[in-house]
Amino acid sequence: MKKRLLILFLTIIILTSLISAINLEIEKDPVANMAIIELNKPAIINLEITNKGSSSNFEIYSLVGVELEPKETIFIEPGETESIELKIYPKSTPEFYSFEYKIRDENEDIQNDNLDINIVHLNDAFEFSVDNIDLESQETIVYLENKGGHNLEDIKAEISSVFFNQEIEFSLEPFGKREFKIDIDKELAKEVIAGNYIVEASLIIENKTASLSSVMKFAEKSGIDTVENIEGLLLRRHEIEKRNLGNIPEEVVISFNRDIFSSLFTTFNILPSKKENQGFNVKYIFRKQLGPDESLRVIAKTNWIFPILIIVILVLIIYFAKRYSSSKLILRKKVSFVRTKGGEFALKVSIIAKARSFCEKIRVIDKLPAMVKVFERYGTIAPDNVDEKNRRLEWTLDSLGEGEERVLSYIIYSKISILGKFELPEARAIYEHQGKVKETESNKAFFINESRNN
C-alpha cells in the first residue's frame, strides 16, 4: 500500500514539473536575412512565439558570434502568441552563417533553436546589371536591386563606362529594384570596337562606398562609307575617302588606274601600298586596316599643265623647224653700235640674205623704227628705194645661188639719246623659187643702251 502511494506521489511531482517547464512554439519569418557589415545593418527575423508552457517571462540570447535584440525580458502569457522582431548583429566575417540561439524563462529553463543569416559586405548587398547596346543606341538602362530587406535612402551613385558617365541620386526600398536610363555618348561610341565592356557603379550610402561592376555587350556592326569627288581640268583632282561606320576593324582598298603617260604627271598625298603595271596602264593600290570611325583618304592630282606646255613647245619647234626647212631664203638681222663725231645715237643695221637653193626676183623690205633717220651712206649694196614717208627701205636682187649670201647694211641715228632696250622690227623678203612666189621673215633685232654718253 505504501509502495503504491509513493509511486503516485512521484508521478504527480513529475507531471507538475512537466507542466511548469518552458514550452514555446516558434515560427520564423525572415524580414531581412542579410546583415551588412559596413552599415552595421542587422539581419532581421520575425519570430511568432506561442507560449504553451506555464512561464511568462523570457530572455533571448546566443553564446556564439552574434548580438541579439531585444535584450530586455519578453512577456508572453501562457497560451498567448507574440510577434518579436529579432535583430541579429553579427561579429564574424562575411559568410552564410547558421547559429544556435536560446530562450530562457524565469525558472532558468532553456529552449534551443537555430537561425540562418547571410553576412555580407556593402558591395554584395546589390544586384547590378546593364542592358546591351549597339551603334544605333541612344541610351541604355541600368538596373540596381536591393537584395537585403533594409531601406536605403539618399544613395549617391556615379555610373561610368567608355560610353557614358552619369551621376544619380535615389533611394531603394527593401528588396526594391530601380531602372535608370543613361544617355550614350555617340561620339565616343564611334571610336569603340565591338565587344564586352565593364560598367562600374560607385555608390555612397551613409558615407560608406560600394563599388559595383557589370558587363555590357557592344554589339557588332559593319559598314564602310565611300565618298568620291573629281574636280578640275588642267589640274585634275580625284579624291576618294572610305570611312569605317561600324564598330569592328575592317580592311579597305582604294585603287586608281592611270595610263603610262598620265602616270608621269600624277602625284598622291600618301604612298601606295602596291603599284601594278598592266600593259599600257598603271594601277595604284592603297590598303589600310580601319578601326571604328577611322578613314582612308587618298587624293590623286594629275597636272596637265606641264604636258600641255611640253606639247605646245614641241609643236612650235616642229612648226618653226618645218618653216625653216621649207624656206629657201634665210634672212638674219643684227645691229651694232656706231660712234659718231657729234655724239648722236647711231646703230649699224645688217641684213644677211642667204639662199638654201637657187632663188630669183628677190625683194628685201625693212622698216625703220620711229625717232631715227637713215644716214645716206650705205653698205656694198645700196637700197633701190628709200620711202621716207612710209619709213622703209627696199633692195632688189636678181638671184642667189645655193649657199650664196648678200649683206645689206645701213646706218640709223637719232639726235635724241635713247636709253634702255631699242627694238628693230623683222625684215621681210619676197622671192620666187621654182616658179612659185614665197615669203620669209628675219628675226627681230635688239640693242640695249645703258649709258647716256655714246
**pLDDT average, residue stretch 207-212:** 94
Q: Residue 204: give its domain's CATH number.
A: 2.60.40.10
Which among 218, 240, 258 is the end of a domain? 218
Q: Residue 438: give its domain's CATH number.
A: 2.60.40.1170
- Residues 89, 28 within the same domain: yes
Count Cβ atoms within 10 A of the Cβ of residue 254 and give its class: 0-12 exposed, 13-18 middle, 19 or more buried.
Answer: buried
Which among 218, 249, 276 is the end of a domain? 218
pLDDT at 65: 83
Residue position matching grid coordinates 558617365: 165
Lowest mean pLDDT among 36-40, 130-134, 390-394: 390-394
For residue 271, list its beta bridge partners.
none
Q: How many domains does the chain have?
A: 4
CA distance 284 to 272: 6
- Residues 97, 140 within the same domain: no
**pLDDT average, residue stretch 65-82:** 91
* 19 against 191, higher pLDDT: 191
pTM as predicted: 0.59
**pLDDT average, residue stretch 309-327:** 78
Q: What is the pLDDT of residues 91-148, one digit of tens each?
A: 878 889 899 999 999 999 999 999 999 999 999 999 999 999 998 899 999 999 999 8
Q: What is the pLDDT of residues 155-191, one digit of tens each?
A: 999 999 999 999 999 999 999 999 999 999 988 888 8
pLDDT at 275: 92
Which among 120, 150, 177 is the end of a domain? 120
Domain holding 377, by residue range, is 327-449
Mean pLDDT of the chain: 87
pLDDT at 454: 45
- Residues 274, 301 within the same domain: yes
Checking phi first, is residue 138 left (phi over 0); if not, alpha (psi -120 to 50) or beta? alpha
- Residues 235, 340 within the same domain: no
Q: What percentage of the chain carries pLDDT values higher than 90? A: 51
Question: What are the backbone angles phi and psi of residue 148, rounded to the nearest 5°?
Answer: -95, 180
Question: What are the backbone angles phi and psi of residue 213, rounded to the nearest 5°?
Answer: -150, 155
* 142 against 375, higher pLDDT: 142
| 160 falls within a domain | yes
pLDDT range class, residue 269, cuts 50, 70, 90: very high
pLDDT at 83: 93
- Residues 233, 212 within the same domain: no
Q: Is 317 helix (H, G, I), strand (E, B) or coil?
A: helix
* Residues whose CB is less than 8 angstroms from the CB of residue 271 and which lie 6 or more positions away in sequence, other chains included: none
Closest CA to 290 of 218, 190, 219: 190
